Amino acid sequence: MQINAPKKSDRPLIIIASNRGPFKFKPRKSGGFDVERGTGGLVTALSALAQKHDVLWVASAIGKGDYQWAKAQGGQPTIIEDITLSLITPDKKRYNQYYNDIANPLLWFIQHQLWNIPRTPSITAETWQAWEEGYKVINWRFAEAIAATIKDVDRPVFVFPQDYHLYLLPDYLRQMVDKPVQIQPFLHIPWPGPDAWRILPEAMREEILNGLLQSDRIGFQTTKDAFNFVQTCRFYLSNAHSKGRRNKIDYRDRTVEAKTYPISIDIQKVEELVKEPQTQLLKSQLLSLLADRKLILRVDRVEPSKNILRGLEAFEIFLEDHSEYRGRVMMVALLVPSRMEVDEYQDYLREIMAQAGMINARYSDPFWEPVRVIVGDNYHRALAAMQLYDVLLVNPLADGMNLVAKEGVLVNQKDGPLILSEHAGVFYEFHQHALNVSPFDVYGTANAIFNALEMAPAERRKRAEGLLAQVKEADVRDWFATQVQDALTSFTSQSSRASTPSTPSARQSAASATSDGMSSEKTPTPTARSG
């Protein structure tokens, strides 16, 4: 293993597994590759962590450049900047089945409960095929890549699979590796209660739950998600027991903890970006657009779960009910296009533009346009606008956390109140200081807009300070460091218990599971389940 660390050590080797990796590769005409570093919270958290730990990141090649880079490395983990990276290179058809047939349209929708039940979803022969040949195979490939890497490693290994793409990975990895690896997935999106999971056929549901329950501990954004997971396991798995606990499941020979690690932002990075000239320039452009009007801001991916249409509807009700505010406020929606290859997402953007157009047609005057929708991915502009808002609207139907709320609170310079959906994960940290709404209640949201604009300066200040204190309490480094610490504590106590050896369970050895290297495309045959 080409990792910047010894194979034998007391220091843990930390393995992150995620669908998307921290870098994007583009081949240069002159040879070699341009490396673009991702900007997401996880990448940043890890960059900080990589300075303290030995980190291997296993991800899937996504674009053509990634495949070429992986080939150029001969499939071997390679150090890029401070992270050792290993890319699996799945067959495109299988990747498409895993990502575009199962992970996004099925699992993500179940977990956000965004169904139009009389019509969708239909689980067809193609879905079953995608499950068997796509989702299971790609999870198996991830497990193989990790197993091959840690085969000769004689040190503690902690594996952190990320999100709904890799639910089967813990089980597959346990089948391949017969050493005490700590496996600790983290789920970025909500985990709904048992009812939502009835949409999945029993076999898929059980494989997912069984897959996750081969972990040592599962990380969730909120205690509600963790509790829902415990309930789902109890409801659907006859041999899963919580014994009255809300955060632990006994399943077969292990006790699995469902623990809350609310994700946060990289405070230092955001504060640096705010100071950059590009952000300052965009801020002055926005100031001239606004003139002396109040800014009601939203910043989202174009995503039905973000509830952008109801946000516009609420703004329209507000304008209708409070004519005194016409000409004095502006709603700016900064929207990043997302999954534009999917028809429903294209339609959603079209509906947003049409609804904004209708509001403008109805209320604008020669000097005032009530709504401005700006479509594009510009983080500097988002941070510029967040400094200026008088009201921030975060009204998702379902959201694991919602980092926009945390970023806004950190950088806003106007003590702007936050209107917050009770279905965003961040609600559990912010509800004492936010104006809380049901995302379905457009009338209540319109009133919240009015109340936010009318709020006395002292109360605005008090709420803004309360929110800021919450954000400053923990940044994204703490989020990851706590997970590593928990893995370390479990590892240490398991190692001391293991001084009395027990009979190892019948598992395939790493050698047999990976005998055909990292290029197998076979359908995995997980061990038989007792149900």
The distance of closest approach from Cβ of residue 354 to ligand ADQ in the complex, given in angstroms and rounded to an integer, is: 19
We find the least distance from the C-beta atom of residue 39 to ligand ADQ, in angstroms, to be 8
Smallest gap from Cβ 1 to ligand ADQ, in A, equals 29
Q: Using the minimum distance from each CB to ligand ADQ, give the nearer residue, 300 or 316.
A: 300
Q: Is 345 in the site for ligand ADQ (CB under 6 A)?
A: no
Q: What angle do CA 159, 163, 167 make, to 5 degrees?
A: 75
Q: Cβ closer to ligand ADQ: 70 or 419?
A: 419
Count of residues that interact with ligand ADQ, criterion CB under 6 A: 22
Distance of CA 344 to the CA centre of its chain: 21
- Say if CB 508 and CB 140 are below 8 A apart: no
Least Å distance, CB 418 to ligand ADQ, is 14
Sign of the Cα pseudo-torsion (181, 182, 188, 192, in order): positive
User: Which CB sits closer to ligand ADQ, 294 or 406?
Assistant: 406
Contact flag: residue 334 with ligand ADQ (CB under 6 A): yes
Asked if 403 touches ligand ADQ (CB under 6 A), the answer is: yes
263 is an interface residue for ligand ADQ by CB under 6 A: yes
Q: Does 218 bind ligand ADQ (CB under 6 A)?
A: no
Binding mask 136-175 for ligand ADQ (x = CB under 6 A): ----------------------------------------
Backbone angles phi, psi at 240, to 5 degrees: -110, 130
104 makes contact with ligand ADQ (CB under 6 A): no
Q: How many CA within 13 A on the CB side of residue 369?
A: 10
Residue 379 in the binding site for ligand ADQ (CB under 6 A):
yes
How many other CB atoms sit within 10 Å of the CB of residue 461? 12
Closest CA to 348 of 377, 308, 311: 308
Asked whether 14 and 56 are in contact (CB, 8 A), the reply is yes
Of 289, 388, 281, 373, the C-alpha closest to 331 is: 373
Backbone angles phi, psi at 394, to 5 degrees: -125, 95
46 contributes a contact to ligand ADQ by CB under 6 A? no
Nearer to ligand ADQ, 90 or 400 (CB): 400
State the Cα–Cα distance between residues 520 and 531, nearest whole angstrom: 28
Contact 421, 437 (CB under 8 A): yes
Site string for ligand ADQ, 173-212 (x = CB under 6 A): ---------------xx-----------------------
Q: In 261-395, which ranges are E strands?
A: 294-301, 329-336, 371-375, 391-394
The CB density around residue 243, as the number of other CB atoms within 10 Å, is: 9
Of 61 and 299, the one with the shorter C-beta distance to ligand ADQ is 299
Nearest distance, CB of residue 71 and ligand ADQ, angstroms: 30
Does 377 sit near ligand ADQ (CB under 6 A)? yes
At 95, list the tokens: 């990747």
* DSSP code for 104: I
Binding mask 408-427 for ligand ADQ (x = CB under 6 A): -----------------x--
Q: Which residues bind ligand ADQ (CB under 6 A)?
A: 41, 188-189, 263, 299-301, 334-336, 377-379, 382, 399-404, 407, 425
